[in-house]
Structure 1
Amino acid sequence: MAFPETIAPEESSAERRQRTRLNAREGTRVLIIDDSKTILAVLKKFLRSAGYETIEALDAESGLELMRQHRPQLVFLDIMLPGMNGFAALRQIRRDQQLRDTPVIMMSGNEQAMEKFFGTRIGADDFMKKPFSRYEVFFRIERLLDENLIPKRLPPPSALGPASRLPL
């Protein structure tokens, strides 16, 4: 699997307000593994504001344990971590029968081709460069939703238009 070479297109604030986003189902658990408390706080805020439950870990070892305990539907995994790095953690995830199908978005402050290459080779579902915007986070999630890797939540009937409310 190759990561798309395009980056998330910029969107005006008016377009963001008008666009209906297909979020994951209410209560979808997301594990964030990053040694930066700032990154953890930002991702947690973005995700919780859209109805996601978050679990956070400051290192890969703790993250893997939380993954086994809570079975998140999505993982944001930093590459540069103290102790075990993100690549080693991803290899463990992909080798574990119970965790292997969990979508993983690798993150790094350094968008090197080698990081993308190794992430792809060992099974990352996407790659996101830090720092990132709220729009970038949800752009990546929506790609996984479109690929049916995360369970979808339909928008409310009012957002679908009048035809959606007609009886069948």
Structure 2
Amino acid sequence: MNTLDMLRGIFRAARLERDRRERPRTNARKGTRVLVVDDSPTIVAMLRKLLQQNGFITFEAGDAEQGVVLARTERPDLIFLDIVLPGMNGFAALRMLRHDPRTADIPIIMISGNAQATEQFYAQRIGADDFMKKPFTREDVFARIERLLDADLAPRRHAAALHAAS
């Protein structure tokens, strides 16, 4: 890569960052309840901080079993669910949540350090509403949440919205 190409890349990145910052962001309503299921304390702490700074209420689980229990008892508005977890994996937890009437309509964003297309396809095929690759940025998190918001600024399930429209 020559110097000119490198400078073009830097300016392109700066322009994209400026454009992103100038675009108004739609935030979920204050008090939106989010469950984070991940075995990495770093990921949990990062999501907790990002979400709580924006008025979200967070619940955390370090494994899928605990996550399923919290989803059933706390009825969050949104779930971030890691795929690779100790014990039950995120795919099995996703299936359980989608088959339980108490949790079937909660929007779920799967997260994984492995961004293989097969994982994304499988997660969406069995009912995930979105997929987010680790490492992620603040913008990644809020862009995904924004895509799930309805007119009342509450997270809604994509699949349910698609079925209602057809």
Q: Give the structure 2 partner of residue 116 of structure 1.
A: 120
Query: Do residues 22 (structure 1) and 26 (structure 2) align?
Result: yes
2:106 aligned partner, one-letter code? T
Q: Give the structure 1 partner of residue 98 of structure 2.
A: 94
Q: Give the structure 2 partner of residue 159 of structure 1.
A: none
Return the offset for 1:114: 1.2
Q: Give the structure 2 partner of residue 139 of structure 1.
A: 143
Q: What per-residue deviation string (whole Å, max 9, x for no partner) do you get for residues 94-139 of structure 1?
A: 0001100000000000001110121011100000000000011001
| Structure 1 gaps, min length 5 | 1-9, 154-168
Whole-angstrom distance in 2 between the partners of 1:95 and 1:113? 24
Percentage of identical aligned residues: 59
More helix by percentage: 2
Partner secondary structure for residue 12 of structure 1: helix
Q: Give the structure 2 partner of residue 125 of structure 1.
A: 129
Query: Do residues 57 (structure 1) and 61 (structure 2) align?
Result: yes
Whole-angstrom distance in 2 between the partners of 1:75 and 1:151? 18
Partner secondary structure for residue 70 of structure 2: helix
Name the TM-score, length of structure 1 as normaliser: 0.78
Whole-angstrom distance in 2 between the partners of 1:38 and 1:11? 28
Return the offset for 1:80: 0.1
Q: Give the structure 2 partner of residue 6 of structure 1.
A: none
Q: What per-residue deviation string (whole Å, max 9, x for no partner) do you get for residues 4-32 of structure 1?
A: xxxxxx8425742x443221111110000
Whole-angstrom distance in 1 between the partners of 2:50 and 2:19? 19
Higher relative contact order (CA 8 A, sep 6+): 1
Q: Give the structure 2 partner of residue 79 of structure 1.
A: 83
Counting matched residue pairs gives 140
| Structure 2 gaps, min length 5 | 1-14, 155-166
Name the TM-score, length of structure 2 as normaliser: 0.79
